[in-house]
Each structure stands twice: as C-alpha cells, then as structure tokens.
Amino acid sequence: MRNKSLAVVLVSILLPFALFAAQEETEKTDLRHEIVVTASRIATPVKEIATSVTVITKQELEQTKKTFVIEALQEVLGLSILQSGPVGGSASVMLRGANSEHTLVMIDGIEVNDPVTPSRTYDFSHLTVEGIERVEILRGPQSPLYGSDAMAGVINIITQKGQGKPRLHLSSLGGSYGTLSGSAGLTGNMEKFHYSIWASTQTSQGFSAANAALEGNTEADGYKNLSLSARASYKASGNIDLDFSARFIDTKSDIDNYGSAFGDDPNNIQTYDSLYLKGHIRGIFLKNRWEQKWTLSHVHSNRDTDNPTDEQHPFDADRSQYKSSLIKLDWQNNLFLHKSNTLTLGAEYQQEQGESSYHSESVWGPSTSRFPLKKAHNTGIYIQDQMRLEGVFFLTTGIRLDSHSQSGRTATYRVAPAFFIQKSNTKLKATYGTGFKSPSLYQLYAPGNAWGSIGNENLEPEETTSWDVGIEQDLWDGKVHLGGTYFSSHFKNLVEYDYTQGYINIANASSKGVEFLCAFDPTENFALSASYSYTLAKDLNTGEALLRRPKNKFTARVNFRFLIKGHVVLSLTHIGSRDDQEWIDWVSTRVQMSPFTLINAAISWDILPNMQLYLRMDNILDQQYELIKGYGTPRLSAYAGFKFQL
C-alpha cells in the first residue's frame, strides 16, 4: 500500500507539469530523418534501413541521469539485461531471446567481447556513460558485415568527437548505498583538430551480491571504478581524416561465492582493468566516389580474483587470473557508383589470445588449474550493396566469407528490402539472413581434468538463420511514430558442456516473437513512448523454455519540460515471469521467477545557464525482485547531483 501511495503522489505531482509542457508548441524534426552508422557501416537514414534498430542518444543519457550503460539498456525493445548483484557485478544482455555471447559489442567500432571468457561475452558492468555520443542497437544477425559473435545483433557505443569552443564539463552524484561519483571532461575543436577527453570515478558501498533476503547474506559488496577516455580527430588534408580513440578502465569489486543462501563472502575481491585503443585513417578519392578506411584496434584485459580464508570459510581459499588481448585490422571501401547505388567491400584480420590460472585450497588439499596461452586468428572478406530507387524502394544485400584458424570457413549472407509509401508515410520492411559464432578459445583448448575432457578442437561454429518482417508508420507530420515487427530465429550447432565429453555441438534452439513501439512527440517539451515485446525462446532438444528469457516486456516513458528550466523523465519497465535454475546443496532445480515492475524518475532544474541540479529515483515502488536467481537487486534508492559546463 505504501508503494502504491508513493506512486500516486509522484504521478499527481508530475502530471500538471506534463500538461503544461504539452501546451508549449515548438517545431519538431521528423523522426525518420535520424542517421545511423552501424547498420550498413556508412551513415544512412533510418528511413532506408530494414534492420530493427534502436538509438540511445546523448540527450537521452543526460535526461535519464544514468551512470552505467547497462542501466541505459534496461528499456531497449527486445533486450533483456542480467546482472549478478550490485553495481560492479557481472552484467550481460540478451537480444531477442538469444544467448548473451551472440551479441557483438563495440566501442567506436572496437570489438570488445572478451576472448578469455568461456563463451566470449562482454561484461557491461564497468562501462560508464561519460563521453558517449550515442548507442546503436541492431536486432537480428549482422554477421555478413561484422563476422563472428553478431548472431543476434550488434551494440555499438559511439563516443563524442568534440565540437565548438573548448568546454569544461564537471559533474558529481551521491546517494543510496554509499554511492559517490564524479566526472570531468574537456571537449571542443580548433580548426582541423577535434578532441574529447573524459575522466570519471565511481565508488559504492553496495549491498549483498548474494540476495540479502536469503539466509546468511548480510555483508554489503562495494565497488570502485576509475575510467579514462579520449578521442581525437584531425583533418590532415582536403581528403584525409585521422581519428584516434582510447579508453582505460580500472575497477575493484567485492563479490560473493554464489547466488544462494550463505553465498556471502566478506573478503572475495575481484580487480579488473582493460585498455581499448583504435587508430583510423579515412580517405576520399576519385572525385568523392571512393571512400577508403583503414582501422587498427587493440584490446587488452586483465581480471584477477583473490579470496583468502576468513571466519566463515576458515579452510577455503582461491585466487585466479585471466588475461586476454585482441588485435584487429579492417580495410573498408565504399564505392559511390551512383546516387542510387553504393557498394561496400572490405577485409578484416584479427588475432586473439588468452590465458588463465586458478588455484584453490581446502580441507582436501591444494588444487591448481591452468589454461595455457592460446591463440586463434580469423580472416574475413565482405561485400554489401545498397540500392535506392526514387526514394521509395531500398534494398541492402550482403555476403561474407570467414576463415577461422581452428574451426574453418563459414559463409553468411543477408537480404534486407524496405519499401516506403510516401503518400501515407509508411515503411514496409523485411530481413532474411544468417549468422555464426566461432568457438571460443576456452571451448577449443581448455585442458581436461580428473572428470574428463573440457576443450574440443573439433568444434564447429554455431549458426543461425533468422528473418523478420515489419511495418513503421509516421502520423501527424512525424509527431507520432508506430512500429511492429515479427521475428523468427533458428539456432543450431550451439556449444554446450557435457560432463562426459566436454564442449560439444549439441544444442538447437529457436526464438520468435513480436515487437511493438509507439512514440508521441507533439512538442519539443513533451514526449511519450511505449514498447512491448513478446519472446518465445525454446530449447528444441528438450522443448523447455530457455532460461532467464522473459516472454513479456513492457516499457513506457514520459519526458517533459516545465517552467522553462525544469525537466522530468518518468519511466516504467515491466518484466514478465521467466525460468531460472536454483541451486540447493549442489543440486539445481528449475524454478519460475516472479514478474516485476520498476518505476524510475529523473528530475532536473537549470539553476544557471551552465549549471544543473538533479534528483534521480530508482525502483520507486520498492520492488523486491531478481534478475538472476539468488542474486540481489537494488531497492528504492535516490541520488542527487549536479552538472556544470564552462
């Protein structure tokens, strides 16, 4: 009752401001004029793209006052997030019911999926929003352009380039769970040179990663994060551009042994650091008909855990270390053959390596397991053709051939037509394509143990065949946007671990469903949006639903200005029931997790032209819920902060 009363009071306070803001009519740009880069590797209007794409803009990030990218992804259509406990706990995403490792994650085009993780996933838990210009999320297989790991889609985080006069950005935030953060940035350009430099720190006392509602979990798990990033670009001549970006992350997390009763551990510490580097050269030749891009990127990551003995675990201790790196060279060519036709072709080469070690001590004596340094490389060539006919029909086709040093050759393709009816402002779209994922280093080369084999050098790539069909409709001069999509994906040769055989290609799965969205932007001062997705993801071998995939997800957001200086964002996210596994006495049981609804709000006030105060409230209904069975989540929490620009 207290939660419902709080929600009613909040809505009662905010609704008059929303009605007032809706009366302040201003000119609004048509939503269909938005440009995206990731869908075709070149800047393309959304109108011409059949791919289902969601864009989170810098403006949205600033309005919602999110601190981490994983928080900003919570409301994305067709996407589910997972996090094991408080801030700093490992976090991943699942697109359209696929596994988390089936989404390729990039930062400024730098591939950041970690080669040393068992299935080559990316951990979103440490990525902050400072310096980010936009996030582009593509749903559906993108392997013909991006190769392995892009089976379910791509998430590309694009950082700010820096424009205008030099500008200093300062911000700070503090609040629940002993949270304190601060950031500083310097952006701008001097004629041909653009720059964007950011630094941020995050600390939190946190809460128990192992759900505090379960017996024996009382210790809060804290977190520290230092993030540095920079991007610089220089126009060397009339047709040559240079671009460089770098990001460094250094973190320390308190973690627990597992998500269950008595999963607490008071001195289990994980440290993580990573470095992302990218150099980019772009040239325009043949009277602007040939664009050539050379990109070299390097990623290095190091993750350590140290868990010495303590009063609760007087005989148990363990420590581990994981190191990985990835070097990638990409040569892309865009040929503007005609105003109605653009041909993109290129080649990629990447080499990854990883190693790890694990040592434990118990009443049974010491034990050591080592994954020696292993390497793998992949070469890919791709070609894509984009056709535009009279601003009405758009067709993107692509094909790619990859050659992996261990699992061999894989070919993927994609066809994506879109038809635009100008008179009614209607877009009909469809895609059909294939995707793949090469086996990870661990799946290929993990040494066996006393129980049998683990790694399997004869693994084949995982594969998917997917299609979708949809319609988008703009009304009222673009102030209303409606969309609906049906999708279907079939996955085969999925890699799973068998206790008697190690990793083998054994699993088959399917995922299908519908996605709906609605956006209403009558003025610059008021916006309302909602989305709904239904996803049915099934293990075809057992007939059971895949774990942790909610069938139903609904989101809604209202965004408005009031009294010129005030701004409010009120959002709702409902996640339906889904299955997970609960471990009790080393035995797992399939359980159904309860649905939950989160209401969040961010209220800001411009006290000066260059200074803003804000309040952020999360989980206003004080819901007790779980994203992963046995792990805790934040309850009702509030944070206050300021932003300053000079």
pLDDT in tens, 146-195: 999 999 999 999 999 999 999 999 999 999 999 999 999 999 999 899 99
Cα–Cα distance measured from residue 14 to residue 599, given in angstroms and rounded to the nearest whole number? 14
pLDDT score at 500: 85
Residue 409: which of 384, 432, 380, 431 has the closest Cα? Answer: 380
Contact 40, 336 (CB under 8 A): no
pLDDT score at 524: 86
Contact 499, 452 (CB under 8 A): yes
pLDDT score at 167: 95
Residue 234: which of 276, 280, 199, 275 has the closest Cα? Answer: 280
Q: What's the pLDDT tens digit per position in 228-246?
A: 999 999 999 889 999 999 9
Mean pLDDT, to the nearest integer, of 184-209? 96
CATH homologous superfamily, domain 2-645: TonB-dependent receptor, beta-barrel domain (2.40.170.20)
> What percentage of the chain has pLDDT greater than the value 90?
87
Q: What's the pLDDT tens digit per position in 505-536?
A: 999 999 999 999 999 999 989 999 999 999 99
Residue 495: which of 447, 436, 537 has the closest Cα? Answer: 436
Domain boundaries, the chain: 2-645
Q: What's the pLDDT tens digit per position in 382-398?
A: 999 999 998 999 999 99
Neighbour count for residue 358 (Cβ, 10 Å): 15
Beta strands per DSSP E along 91-152: 91-95, 103-107, 110-111, 132-139
pLDDT score at 33: 60
Cα–Cα distance measured from residue 139 to residue 143, given in angstroms and rounded to the nearest whole number? 12
> Coil, strand or helix: which one is 442?
helix
Strand partners, 138: 53, 154
Q: What's the pLDDT tens digit per position in 450-486?
A: 777 899 999 999 999 999 999 999 999 889 999 999 9
Mean pLDDT, to the nearest integer, of 100-119? 96
Q: Which residues of 628-645 are buried (b: 16+ CB within 10 A; e: fewer)?
A: bbbbbbbbebebebebee
pLDDT score at 396: 97
Question: Would you mind telling me the total number of residues written for the chain in this entry?
Answer: 646
Instruction: Report how far apart, in Å, the C-alpha atoms of 296 and of each of 139, 158, 214, 264, 400 are.
Output: 26, 16, 48, 43, 20
Residue with tokens 């060539």: 381
Concatenated DSSP letters of 246-287 = EEEEEEEEE--S-SSTT---TT-EEEEEEEEEEEEEEEEETT
Indicate if the pLDDT at residue 441 is higher than 60: yes
Whole-number average pLDDT of the chain? 92
Mean pLDDT, to the nearest integer, of 4-33? 37
Helices (H) and strands (E) in the chain, counts: 5, 33
Indicate if the pLDDT at residue 202 is higher than 80: yes
